[in-house]
Amino acid sequence: MSDQPEFDPTDARPQASRTDPEVLRTKLEAWLRARPDVADDAVVQNLQVPDGNGMSSETMLFELAHGGQVEHLVARVAPTLGSVPVFPDYDMGMQFHVMQEVVGAVPVPAVRWLEEDTAAVGSAFFVMDRVEGRVPPDVMPYNFGMDSWVYDASPEEQQHLQERSVEVLAALHALPVERFSFLDDTPEGADAAERSALRRHVDATRGFYEWVVADQQGSPLIERAFDWLEDNWPADEGETVLSWGDSRIGNMMFDGFDPVAVLDWEMASLGPREVDLAWMVFLHRFFEEVAWKMELPGMRHFMHAPDVVAHYEQVTGHTVQNFEWHTTYAALRHAAIMYRVAVRSITFGQGEWPADVDDLIMHRAALEQLLDGTYEP
């Protein structure tokens, strides 16, 4: 394996060209005034498009002044094709309806309005209430120890955050899966194998990867990982539940160390419980490996796989299965996403193609170790 390039977290987050905030404000104000539950005197004020977490949907914070009151709201706006989006499509309606269905089970902002017609502001979007809290930072990552409230917390506070975050997954997975039938993409007339939620999940990941490399050189390592999944496919795939998809603490907002908002539902689907659980563990491990490479201490005691699995099993009574397989799958999924993010960086002039394309995968070593059987949780 060739030496991997030095990591700069800002390189992974190229800033696409955005509509002028004042243009957005004017369009959003006009759209809101047409809502039957919004007063005719509505004014959108203090609109902000913050930097920070998230590389896909654009977040707009704003105040809606109408009828003698001021409401603090958030709009989630799908990216345009010109912004070189991370994913090929953004189903804002799906995200809106998932959030409606999980209310009461986990803390989510109340969703207000959905607009799937792109004519209103240039992209589909939905509006939700703003929740006050703090989010574990991605830039710089929360485990780097650079102005990070998570890093600076006591071990007891970190454990509390970890356990409450795992309990969010447990609560989601306890919801009746029938409530999320709109996520079921089983083809008509499908056989038993095609009806498998895990099979459809992996096939969707493969489809995403093929979209990513359609006009680029493919990744031999990612393709080898897909082969490994097939060769080691679980005999018992486990129960099908609602899968949050991007289940990591960077997509949660906290009051103190308790979750007050679960955000970013664009990767929601149906699948085994372990899809979310392994993703939560592996995404922390990803940040840890970056910290180690930069000779930072990191948070090696945090989100440790045996601890996370044990607490999940204690809370749910479910015996976690095939965790190594799902960890490898999480590493593959993240590799495909990071490959796309690297393409965005190159497109925006913030990077260049390496001699070995697999060096675009920042956690290349971890994925190789998983495939070789030398990975240590």
Which sign, positive or negative, has the C-alpha torsion 7, 12, 17, 21?
Answer: negative
Q: 372 an active-site residue?
A: no
**Does residue 146 have a cis peptide bond before it, meaning omega lies within 30 degrees of 0?**
no
**Catalytic residue (choose from 246, 276, 358, 359):** 246
Compute the distance between CA of residue 213 and CA of residue 211 in angstroms, rounded to an integer. Answer: 6
State the DSSP H helix or E strand holding residue 367, giving kind and residue range, or none if neither. Answer: helix 364-372
What is the spatial distance between Cα 252 and Cα 54, in angstroms, rounded to a whole number?
12
Contacts 24+ apart (CB under 8 A), 204-208: 204/269, 205/329, 205/332, 205/333, 205/336, 208/87, 208/88, 208/336
Name the DSSP letter for residue 186.
P
Q: What are the Cα distances from residue 371, in Å, to 204, 324, 328, 367?
A: 21, 10, 7, 6
Q: Tokens 């990513």 label which residue?
A: 212
* C-alpha distances in Å from residue 263, one per residue of 53, 94, 268: 11, 14, 11
Catalytic site positions: 246
